[in-house]
């Protein structure tokens, strides 16, 4: 699949819609347009059935039980709800939120914002140079003052995959709740909320070839009664998230996750092979670079690298329109802030400036990878 004249290597910023997802969504837009909460008439009932089926499929894919998935507008909203609802409900001395130092901005900013509103404090768990949680530091930070721990499953900039079951168990030993931002996870690991022992988990459809503006918050049934919702309104979704649920987006999300699950093993092997081809191509072209983060525990489509003595933003600029990549998370690149993720790994300012994320995906192929190497080599020689 070609995207204009660009080779697209920015799949962790967002993914294109899979044509099979579009087909499912088109049918739903056409036939199930009725309000799924208008269940007095047959058309509303049919839309509700589609929405419920999509929810049940998603629950099945992530090992959740019935009614544990709440549809949201994306992972940003799901993350905000997870943090705000715990802080609204937290009583007594449990007024500390632990977040990893490499969380997405929507966890970071939501944690500081709601902590300030509800008289809590935020502490950041340091990571090792691989991006993996520093377990000794984490253990030392856990106490009976912690109400919530937030650690992402897979990092959006460096792709690091955390040991979520272990981290969740450590939080539970101190009586804290555990939330996991799994927006980047489906293409990299099999999500299993039961095995992972998470209390809450966030998902985003547009990272898995599904529609933008759609996501979900998994929340354990037992918790739902004790945590207030973030959005007030007509009481849809059992009052956990008011607002008319967009049926077609739910259908697209469920289909996207189904495809991701169905192809997981082959897709991860393919991405690993393509990434290796990219690494070897860059080496053979004589380009001086080094890799950021963990090579072992990494999203198979992620390659975050620093090019010696190069300003990666300038490199991306000179490569336009031939190659789409990015220097950090999408919102960071708009604001041109140094990546807090790379800084947390201990990288110097020069190393951060020289770093670029190449993220490969479902529609990447060998010829695109070979061409990308040529484009990067040409861009570097121009600089």
Ligand X SMILES: Cc1ncc(COP(=O)(O)O)c(C=O)c1O
Which residues of this chain interact with ligand X, rule CB under 6 A?
74-76, 104, 106, 152, 156, 181, 183-184, 204, 206, 215, 329-330
Q: Which two tokens stand for residue 305?
A: 């690298």
Report residue 29 CA to chain centroid gap.
Answer: 26
Q: What is the Cα–Cα distance from 22 to 26, expressed in whole angstroms?
A: 6
Cα 229 from Cα 110, distance rounded (Å): 15
The set of residues, in sequence order, having a beta carbon less than 8 Å from that of 119 and lying 6+ positions away, is: 95
Minimal distance, residue 100 CB to ligand X, in Å: 11
Residue 91 beta carbon to ligand X: minimum distance, rounded to whole angstroms: 28
Tell me phi and psi for residue 263, to 5 degrees.
-100, 5
Tracing tokens 């991701």 back to the chain, one arrives at: 260
Pick the closer one to ligand X by CB: 57 or 181.
Answer: 181
Rounded Cα distance between 203 and 82, Å, is 12
CB of 119 to ligand X, least distance (A): 26
C-alpha span between 81 and 150 (Å, rounded): 12
Residue nearest to ligand X (CB): 74
What's the rounded Cα separation, in Å, for the pair 204 and 206?
A: 6
Q: Does 298 qualify as catalytic in the annotation?
A: no
Query: Smallest gap, in angstroms, from Cβ of residue 103 to ligand X?
Result: 8
Pick 204 or 294: Cβ nearer ligand X: 204
Of residues 78 and 354, the one with the C-beta less far from ligand X: 78
Edge-first strand order for the sheet with 355-359 is 289-291, 302-307, 355-359
b/e for 152-165, b at 16 or more Cβ within 10 A? Answer: bbbbbbbbbbbbbe
Nearer to ligand X, 131 or 281 (CB): 131
Query: Rounded CA gap, 19 and 1, in Å?
Result: 11
Smallest gap, in angstroms, from Cβ of residue 30 to ligand X?
Answer: 25
Nearer to ligand X, 32 or 329 (CB): 329
**CA dihedral angle for residue 255, residue 256, residue 259, residue 261, rounded to 10 degrees:** -110
Closer residue to ligand X (CB): 183 or 240: 183
**Minimum separation from the CB atom of position 197 to ligand X (A):** 20
Q: What is the DSSP string of 48-82?
A: HHHHHHHHHHHHHHTTPPTT-EEEESSHHHHHHHH
Identified catalytic residue from 147, 250, 298, 331? 331
| Residues labelled catalytic | 331
């Amino acid at each position: 699949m070609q995207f204009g004249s660009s080779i697209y290597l920015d799949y962790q910023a967002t993914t294109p819609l899979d044509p099979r997802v579009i087909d499912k969504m088109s049918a739903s837009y056409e036939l199930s347009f009725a309000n799924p909460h208008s269940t007095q008439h047959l058309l509303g009932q049919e839309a509700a059935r589609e929405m419920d089926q999509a929810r049940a499929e998603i629950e099945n894919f992530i090992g959740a039980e019935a009614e544990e998935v709440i549809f949201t507008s994306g992972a940003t909203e799901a993350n905000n709800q997870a943090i705000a609802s715990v802080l609204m409900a937290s009583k007594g001395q449990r007024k500390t939120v632990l977040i990893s130092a490499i969380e997405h901005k929507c966890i970071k900013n939501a944690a500081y914002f709601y902590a300030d509103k509800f008289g809590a404090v935020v502490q950041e768990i340091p990571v090792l140079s691989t991006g993996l949680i520093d377990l000794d530091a984490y253990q030392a930070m856990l106490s009976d003052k912690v109400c919530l721990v937030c650690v992402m499953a897979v990092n959006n900039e460096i792709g690091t995959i955390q040991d979520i079951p272990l981290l969740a168990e450590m939080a539970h030993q101190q009586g804290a709740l555990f939330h996991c931002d799994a927006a980047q996870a489906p293409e990299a690991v099999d999500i299993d909320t039961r095995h992972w022992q998470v209390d809450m988990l966030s998902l985003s459809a547009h990272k898995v070839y599904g529609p933008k503006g759609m996501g979900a918050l998994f929340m354990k049934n037992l918790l739902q009664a004790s945590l207030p919702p973030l959005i007030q309104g007509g009481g849809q979704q059992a009052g956990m998230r008011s607002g008319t649920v967009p049926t077609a987006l739910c259908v697209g999300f469920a289909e996207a996750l189904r495809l991701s699950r169905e192809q997981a093993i082959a897709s991860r092997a393919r991405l690993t092979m393509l990434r290796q081809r990219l690494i070897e191509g860059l080496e053979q072209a004589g380009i001086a670079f080094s890799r950021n983060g963990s090579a072992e525990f990494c999203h198979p489509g992620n390659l975050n690298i620093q090019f010696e003595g190069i300003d990666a933003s300038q490199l991306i600029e000179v490569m336009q329109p031939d190659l789409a990549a990015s220097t950090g998370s999408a919102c960071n690149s708009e604001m041109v802030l140094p990546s807090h993720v790379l800084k947390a790994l201990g990288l110097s300012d020069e190393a951060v400036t020289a770093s670029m994320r190449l993220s490969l995906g479902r529609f990447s192929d060998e010829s695109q990878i070979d061409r990308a190497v040529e484009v990067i080599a040409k861009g570097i020689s121009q600089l």
